[in-house]
Structure 1
Amino acid sequence: MSIVKKLSEHIRQKGLRATLKKAWKHYVFSHEELLWMERDLVSPVPPYKLKSYPPLQVVTITPENAVAFTRYFGDRVDTMAELAREGYTGHMHVDDKGDAVAFIWGAARDYYDKHYYGCMFPVKKGEFFEFGGELTRAYWGTALSMDLQTELWKAMLAQGCNKVVDVCEFHNVPALKLHIRTGYNEQGRIMNVYELFGRWRFYRESHYSGSRLDALRKPSREPATAPAT
């Protein structure tokens, strides 16, 4: 499909304003806010209501078994093998056919993200940086989104880590809500990623006080009280 046809189709589906906004962000200037989050590795995950899923096997990712990503994550096979060779801890959850349906990574040292954001994420002693978590669509809304994390926490705890840190895009509401449900806390730090003309990227850390996520939290139900007499 030509660029003109793609543009026309996008305008028809999304409207002119949304199309111009997307084009500006892609070709001229974009600003991404990545909120730093943290959590200890031993506090229980708050109660949640997520669907169950069929049994899966948790497997440590190695350069040799990265071929398991071929079916559902075919464009990631080389990246998965590369991360394993670089010594990061990766888990994949494998179905009964031997195909990886979910994966997640942990870095117990400073992590330079050359595959996506292109910036350095510093990691303090005792922490690990969690990144790259993803599930196939069939497992969205299931408890795998929780188990994917907690299995990695166990592995990193065994390596001497006591805290998980990660970043979450401020516009990614579902991911932010998952962090809230999982018991993460805001650090009050933002990694700002700027991109100019789709070529140059710049990075700046900023800070804030209070919470940026209060609007996403479910209001707590106050106990019913007897009417005043």
Structure 2
Amino acid sequence: MSALQKLRDRIKQKGLRATVKTLWRHYVFYHWELLWMERDLVSPVPPHSLKPYPPLRLETITPHNTKAFARYFGDRVETMAELAREGYTGHMHLDDQGDAVAFIWGANRNYFDKHYYGCWFPVKPGEFFEFGGELTRAYWGTTLSVDLQLELWKAMQAQGCDKVVDVCEFHNIPALKLHLRMGYTEQGRIMNVYGLFGRWRFYRETRYTGSRLDALRKPSRPPVTAQAT
């Protein structure tokens, strides 16, 4: 299929405006706002209404067991092995076929994200940087999104950490809602990532006051009052 035909098909599927916006971000200019979030490792997770999931097996990711990613995350096999070789702590959850259906990583030192954002994420003593968490679609909306993090927090606590920090793209609403559901709070910092002509990237950190996520919080229900009859 020619590039022109692919473009025509995409316009039919997504519309002209969405297609132009995507091409602009990919080939001309984009700006990611990454909100810094944090949480202690001991406060309980707030109540939620997520669905249960079938039993899975938890394994630490090593350079020797990353073939488990081949079925659902085939393009990540070498990346997973590389991160394990570099000494980061990674967990994967395996189904009854031995295939990884979810994974997550933690770094208790400054982390350079050469695989996606291309910038450094500094980590203070006692903290760890959580990154790379992902689930297959079949497990979206289940408590695996919670258990995935809780198991990693336990492992990082054993390494002397008492706080988790990470970044979340401001336009990724589902991920931001997950952070709020897990009890994360905003640090008031943003890592801004700029891309130009698909070749150059620039970074700067900005700060803000108040909350940028208030619109995503569920409003509290007003108290029920008795009515006179």
TM, length-normalised to structure 2: 0.98
Other-structure match for 1:41: 41
Unaligned runs of 5+ in 2: none
- 2:87 matched to 1:87? yes
Cα distance per residue 1:26-76 (max 9 Å; x no partner): 110000000000000000000111111111111000001111111111111
Other-structure match for 1:59: 59
Kindly provide the amino acid, as one letter, of the partner of residue 73 in structure 1.
F
Kindly provide the amino acid, as one letter, of the partner of residue 183 in structure 1.
G
Kindly provide the amino acid, as one letter, of the partner of residue 223 in structure 2.
P
Q: Distance in 2 between matches of 1:145 and 1:176?
A: 13
Other-structure match for 1:185: 185
Other-structure match for 2:219: 219
Other-structure match for 2:148: 148
Cα distance per residue 1:145-171 (max 9 Å; x no partner): 000000000000111000000000000
Other-structure match for 1:166: 166
Unaligned runs of 5+ in 1: none
Q: CA deviation at 1:3?
A: 1.5
Q: CA deviation at 1:24?
A: 0.9
Q: CA deviation at 1:222?
A: 1.4
Q: Distance in 2 between matches of 1:179 and 1:121?
A: 18
Q: Distance in 2 between matches of 1:154 and 1:76?
A: 25
Kindly provide the amino acid, as one letter, of the partner of residue 104 in structure 1.
I
Q: CA deviation at 1:228?
A: 7.0
Distance 1:57 1:12, change over 3 A: same
Q: Distance in 1 between matches of 2:207 and 2:187?
A: 9
Q: Distance in 1 between matches of 2:116 and 2:21?
A: 22
Q: Distance in 2 between matches of 1:102 and 1:17?
A: 34
Structure 1 residue ranges, 4+ long, deviating more than 2 angstroms after superposition: 226-229
Q: Higher mean Cα deviation, 13-22 or 83-92?
A: 13-22
Q: CA deviation at 1:96?
A: 1.2
Query: SS at 1:223's partner residue?
Result: coil
- 2:127 matched to 1:127? yes
TM, length-normalised to structure 1: 0.98
Cα distance per residue 1:132-152 (max 9 Å; x no partner): 000111111111000000000
Query: SS at 1:92's partner residue?
Result: strand
Other-structure match for 2:104: 104
Kindly provide the amino acid, as one letter, of the partner of residue 7 in structure 2.
L
Other-structure match for 1:17: 17
Q: CA deviation at 1:226?
A: 2.7
Q: Distance in 1 between matches of 2:228 and 2:206?
A: 49
